[in-house]
Amino acid sequence: MPTGDAMGGGVGVGGARAGGASTGGAPLRPFTPQREQAAALSARTVGRDHLLRVLQAKVQSAATSAARPHVLLVGPPGVGKTHVVEVLLHRASADPSVRDRVLVVRAPHEGLGVTRYSDLLAEVQRTLDPGGSRGAGVPAPGEREARIRQLVGDRVVLLVIEHLDRVFDDLGTAGQRSLRAWVETTGQVMLLTTTPAVFPGIRERDQPWFGGLATFVLPGLSANEAQHLVANLAQSRGQRDLAGFVLSDSGRARIRALSELAGGSPRALVMLAEQGSSTALDELTPAVANVLEGLVPYHESLLWALSSNERRLVAALAAGTGSATVSELATSSELEQRTAASALGRMAAQHLVVSEKPDGGDRRTTYYRLRDPVLRQHVWYRTRGVDVVGLSAALLRAHQDPAVRQPLSEAAHQRLRAGDLDGALAAAAAGGGPDVPAARRAHEEADVILAAVSQVRRGRRLEMSRTSEPARRLVDCLLGAARGDATARAALIPEWRRLLEPAPTRGGA
Amino acid sequence: MYSRRVSNSSRHENVRPIEVNVGGIVAQEDLVGRDGEIDRLMSLAAPPAHGAMLLGDRRIGKTSLLRTLEQPLREAGHLVVRVSAETSSLDDFARALQAGLMVEPRLGSWGIHLEGEAAVRVGIAQISLRAKAQRGAGSREADLFATCARAARAQGPHHRVVFLLDEITVLATELAREAPGDARDFLRTLRRARQEFGEVVMFLAGSIGLHHALPDGTEVNDLVEMPIDVLDQPEAMRLAEGLILGSGLTVTEPRAVAAAMVAHTSGFPFYLHGTAQLLTERRGVVDPGAVAQEVRRALDLDLWNTQHYDSRLDDYYRGEAELVRDILDTIATAEKPVSADEVLQTSAVAVHAPTRTRLLTLLQRLERDHYLRRTAQSTAMANGFIGRIWRHVRRL
């Protein structure tokens, strides 16, 4: 057995623990998957098979040749980077040639205690030689490198560094160069790293690690993958009711809606399985509220770490139509344009916002949006409560489920007249009614509207050029209502009625 | 002649899978081509040569070449010390050098000569080994290169100690930033070792031209300049076909897809690996059109930071950056290599009114910065891919 955290050994370095695949009653850990049983993580993994095969081949080549194919996994918080790392280490350890040759060393999560290159070396040395002698004084980096070299021998260190962006920030250029020089000179180290987004330290050509890491972007899960994940989790945890519902047509539609709200975030889906029931999932709004409630501490700590100006901008981005220019955001957050631009630059560096150029048109304009769609939902949830979250959930529920959209007609009108907003939205989305052509038009319009709202949900800018005037007005009202605008909210029902009126009285498309 | 050539030749018939490895350390068996460069470097490790200065764009494959050179050098009986000098200070370099020394088993005895554990000390004017004596008090200090030369002599009359100092230009640039004379003095120290000890050979490499840190380069003018370029067509094809096999891509026609990969990257190994990785992330069957799409996407999204070819000019050329851009615009859009006089006559360049001598100086610097390539009396972009990058960045 190699020294240190040999693959599959999981020796006391904070890694996922080896063990059986059954989750049983063990708590799920959506924020710290490395604390779960590695086999259970592996068993419930969906949508990452190809990536894991590619990564396994890289670890294997490091174990069996002089190749050191360093890896960087990129994806927003909650997309499953740590999960992939843990499953990779678990699966790779099944290969004896890897198990006997590769020593896993993990830099502490959140970079605790690692702010200099010498800290990183100390961590490697501590892991490889936990009972090593503690001489007087702090060893110089050269001494540590020499000792590590002895400990490793002809094997390979797989150095896992999460939040590489922050660790590199702390190391500075000199520390990054030292790390590179050590890795290149000894040839004993392969890096397995993660970051929320590509950052200048690896993207820019004059940086020591430019082009030094093969980058793999982790997308959110597709609706099918999300359905399988929740079903797998429900089954492994004995939640038969939930598992059965998730696999039904309605369950699939609800998961699709939830997945869209959460940007395909596996973390949100794991929380759904942890807290959800088939009833809550069917209604969707309670399920979304449960997930958001569970994420409150995470989002709150994230928001409190921001400056007051940055928080104003988060609020403005959440309240707006998805993406906005610096000038628009400065106006809506009542900040000087220069202050807003500077804060947005910092937020982009922290991967809180994404800056984008429009696909067509004026490429000089830059739009900003919140990177994490769940953060947007959180802001709505905290500022407007379940009501607004329910609005978006109801829209998506209707959008994703043909069964809800099919026959509606009178029901929709009745609900609208009764002021039942959620019910009316769901019903109106389905169109239909005695006037078939009008119903078909309404149905088509509803599709456009729901697609538009879905765009907003994903933080995209609205494209409404093909939408009729009543539909555009309705979307404005929906967005206004979401922002808490009472006038817009009051106008919602009349606008829905207008949209459903026969064609001659409607505005041109 | 280096024996790897035999195995490479056999691969013409049977393409071997090569793992996609973007920017990591490449296994020796996965390094394609470069046999000519290795043969040339081997000859430069023998008297009367002192070594060479490897020049080439970042990610062209200099580090992989130096790493691969280790084996034939050792097989020839030489001692080898390979060090990444991508460091910010002499202390950091000393540490890297010490680690490099420890890898060469036949230099493991240098501690014994000094009767104790030794540490490397690097100063502007001297590189030494300092050891604390195991028996008795006090410590001793000896010149590192004298010690290494002695160790090489002990191996036999024709054996030499070869220092492979990668990214030496990063350290030189950092030293020059602190004090302009320090980089020069440090490189003179290395040169003195080469001249004083016939057993000491150095192969230096760096992507940043030394001309950015040193005014005239006399500190390295005893070394043969050796440009490292893109792979030639057959080698690039072999790499591309190997990558297709190694990445498990499903392709319409392997040779056509490989040819497209080579055509779109001009056989630049890093971008061949990069393109292969982008292709693995696609779903479905890959055809030559998909290669074109992925390379275009990489340029559009600046996945390879190719924008830097433009943005760094302000730092490199300062007040003349705009003139340099116009020169590059002219050459990148010309249908064939152009002469200096033709460049001088274009309206975009003429408006800056450079003298012919000044233009020639800039063209030479652009060659050293890996933008341009001179053929006889004409100049062209360094390769097709650099030309494409420039046209893309400048929207030409």
pLDDT tens string A373-387: 778 778 877 776 555
Residue A24: pLDDT over 80: no
Count the Cβ atoms, other than its own, within 10 Å of residue A17. Answer: 16
Q: What is the pLDDT of residue A507?
A: 37
My answer on whether omega of the bond before B48 falls inside 30° of 0, hence cis, is: yes
**Angstrom distances, CA of residue B290 to CA of B254, B282, B295, B314:** 13, 9, 9, 35
The DSSP annotation for A409-420 comes to THHHHHHHHHT-
B53 vs B63: CA distance, rounded Å: 13
What is the residue type of A320?
G
Contacts with B274 from chain A: Cβ below 8 Å: 211
A127 vs A48: CA distance, rounded Å: 29
Confirm if B324 and B313 have CB atoms less than 8 A apart: yes
Q: What is the pLDDT of residue B337?
A: 96
Could you tell me the pLDDT band of residue A265, with boundaries at 50, 70 and 90? confident
ipTM of the complex: 0.82
Over residues A17-36, mean pLDDT: 65
Tell how strand B378-381 and strand B372-375 pair up. antiparallel
Express each pLDDT in A145-192 by its tens digit. 888 988 998 899 999 999 898 899 899 999 999 999 899 888 899 999
Q: Which of A149-153, A280-284, A288-292 bottoms out in mean pLDDT, i.e. has the lowest? A: A280-284
A41 vs B18: CA distance, rounded Å: 31
- Phi, psi at residue B338, to the nearest 5°? -120, 155
- Phi, psi at residue B365, to the nearest 5°? -65, -40
- Longest C-alpha distance within chain A, in Å? 90
Contacts with A211 from chain B: Cβ below 8 Å: 22-23, 58-59, 270, 274, 304-305
Confirm if A262 and A269 have CB atoms less than 8 A apart: yes
- Phi, psi at residue B13, to the nearest 5°? -80, -45
A313 vs A332: CA distance, rounded Å: 8
What is the residue type of B153?
R
DSSP collapsed to 3 states, A112-155? CCCCCHHHHHHHHHHHHCCCCCCCCCCCCHHHHHHHHHHHHCCC
- Phi, psi at residue B172, to the nearest 5°? -60, -40
Q: What is the pLDDT of residue B160?
A: 94
Q: State the DSSP code for A68.
A: B
Residue B108: pLDDT over 60: yes
Q: What is the pLDDT of residue B206?
A: 85
Express each pLDDT in B310-340 by its tens digit. 999 998 999 999 999 999 999 999 999 999 9
Which chain B residue shows the shortest CA-CA distance from A210? B23
B262 vs B238: CA distance, rounded Å: 10
Query: Residue B186 has which token pair?
Result: 């440090």
A164 vs A179: CA distance, rounded Å: 12
Contacts with A180 from chain B: Cβ below 8 Å: 84, 86
Å from B290 to nearest chain A CA? 19
Is B170's Cβ below 8 Å from some Cβ in A?
Answer: yes
Q: What is the pLDDT of residue B389?
A: 96
Over residues A354-375, mean pLDDT: 73
Query: E strands along A231-390, which residues?
Result: 353-356, 367-370
Q: How much is the CA Rg of chain B, to the nearest whole Å?
A: 23
The set of long-range contacts for A325-328, using a CB threshold of 8 Å and a minimum separation of 24, is A325/A365, A325/A366, A325/A367, A325/A368, A326/A366, A326/A368
* Nearest by CB: B305 against A142, A186, A210: A210
B348 vs B344: CA distance, rounded Å: 9
Q: What is the pLDDT of residue A12?
A: 30
- Share of chain B residues as helix, strand and coil, in percent rounded to the nearest 5: 55, 15, 30
- pTM given for the model: 0.76
Residue A22: pLDDT over 80: no
* Nearest by CB: A205 against B58, B98, B280: B58
Query: Residue B283 has which token pair?
Result: 């779903």
Å from B86 to nearest chain A CA? 6
Which chain A residue shows the shortest CA-CA distance from B277? A214
Confirm if A434 and A408 have CB atoms less than 8 A apart: no
Residue A406: pLDDT over 90: no
Query: Residue B311 has which token pair?
Result: 């943005």
Contacts with B59 from chain A: Cβ below 8 Å: 211
Could you tell me the pLDDT band of residue A42, with boundaries at 50, 70 and 90? confident
Confirm if A127 and A105 have CB atoms less than 8 A apart: yes
Express each pLDDT in B22-66 by its tens digit. 988 988 888 898 999 999 999 999 988 899 999 999 889 999 999
Å from A261 to nearest chain B CA? 25
Is A57's Cβ below 8 Å from some Cβ in B?
Answer: yes
Query: Residue B36 has which token pair?
Result: 């000519």
Confirm if B40 and B292 have CB atoms less than 8 A apart: no
Residue A440: pLDDT over 50: no
Over residues B180-200, mean pLDDT: 90
Query: Residue A367 has which token pair?
Result: 């739009």
A384 vs B289: CA distance, rounded Å: 49
Residue A457: pLDDT over 80: no
- Phi, psi at residue B20, to the nearest 5°? -65, 125
* Nearest by CB: A214 against B28, B29, B277: B277
Residue A451: pLDDT over 60: no
Residue A121: pLDDT over 90: yes
Could you tell me the pLDDT band of residue B353, with boundaries at 50, 70 and 90? very high
Among residues 315-344 of chain B, which lie with CB inside 8 Å of chain A? none
A293 vs A386: CA distance, rounded Å: 10
Which chain B residue shows the shortest CA-CA distance from A211? B23
Confirm if A123 and A108 have CB atoms less than 8 A apart: yes
My answer on whether omega of the bond before A504 falls inside 30° of 0, hence cis, is: no
B180 vs A52: CA distance, rounded Å: 49
Beta bridge partners of B130: B119, B141
